Amino acid sequence: MKKTLLVLTVLLSTSVLAQSEEHKSKTMGFYVSPNVQVGYNLGNSIKDGQNQDSPYYQQYVAPYLPNDFTYGVGVVGGYHLLPFFALGTGLKYNYVSDNLHLLNWTIQPKFIFGKDEGKFVVEFEYGKQFNTSNINNTHYFGGKLGYQDSFSKQLIQEGGLFICRYNSDVSNAYFIGISVSATIFSNRNYTVYGRD
């Protein structure tokens, strides 16, 4: 009886520890992800019905229209809650035009698909401007389809295509472009490098 209990205890302990290790390897834990973006304006950036030759347009609308390109840098920190879902928040700076330098607070849910190496990522993002610029109270919605690959035990590189829409009182702009990021995370067993 004692031998049977000992064997069951050892098997149970091994099973629990194995499950714990397996569970640990499915999520990144806490993470920080700096990123860089460049995008091209696809949208109609003029408020409906504006006459481009009018003095009102020249004085109040034209100076604030987005350029053809936008550039952005940001950082997001968060927690990888489930093997397929992570949630983060952070800051993003966007250069939209000479008169529009936007600093946004962002929230970013992320869905991750794949087993080991080479995972696909779908991100959604909402950002709200909190600095003062020539246009205030802007916000944007966006999404990204990306691919992530591990670089080391605690570092992942990620690239993808994004689309986002900026709203303001005088302009609407859609940007599509590329995004590149690196993610540093706390769980050493998330990538294949951590399981050597």
Residue 22 pLDDT: 46
Structural domains in the chain, sorted by start: 28-195 (2.40.160.20)
Q: What is the pLDDT of residue 37?
A: 95
Which letter does DSSP use for residue 58 in this model?
Answer: I
What lies within 8 Å, CB to CB, of 78 at 6+ separation is: 30, 31, 33, 86, 87, 88, 89, 90, 108, 110
pLDDT over 70 for what percent of the chain? 70
Bridge-partner residues for 86, per DSSP?
A: 110
Q: What is the DSSP letter of 47?
A: P
Distance in angstroms (rounded) separating the CA atoms of residues 103 and 65:
17
If one compares 149 and 135, the residue with the highest pLDDT of the two is 149
Closest CA to 168 of 69, 61, 53: 61
**Is the confidence at residue 74, as pLDDT, over 60?**
yes
Q: What is the pLDDT of residue 189?
A: 79
User: What torsion, rounded to 10 degrees, do the Cα atoms 132, 182, 70, 147 define?
Assistant: -130
* Residue, of 109 and 26, whose pLDDT is higher: 109
Q: How confident is the model over 1-14, as pLDDT tens digits?
A: 556 555 545 544 55
With a cut of 90, say whether residue 23 has pLDDT above it. no
Express each pLDDT in 81-100 by its tens digit.
999 999 999 999 988 777 77
pLDDT band, residue 17 (cuts 50/70/90): very low
**pLDDT tens-digit map of 113-131:** 987 678 999 999 999 999 9
- Tell how far CA 165 is from the center of its chain: 15
Is residue 78 over pLDDT 90?
A: yes
CA pair distance 138, 168, nearest whole angstrom: 5
| DSSP label of 83 | T
The pTM assigned to this predicted structure is 0.75
C-beta of residue 103 within 8 angstroms of C-beta of residue 128: no
Residues 126, 175, 35, 138, CA torsion sign:
negative
Reply yes or no on whether the pLDDT at 21 is more than 50. no
Higher pLDDT, 19 or 96: 96
Token output for 190: 């998330």
Which residue type, as a one-letter code, is found at position 25? S
Q: Rounded distance, CA 47 to CA 190, Å? A: 47
pLDDT in tens, 142-159: 999 999 988 788 899 999
Q: What is the mean pLDDT of the chain?
A: 80
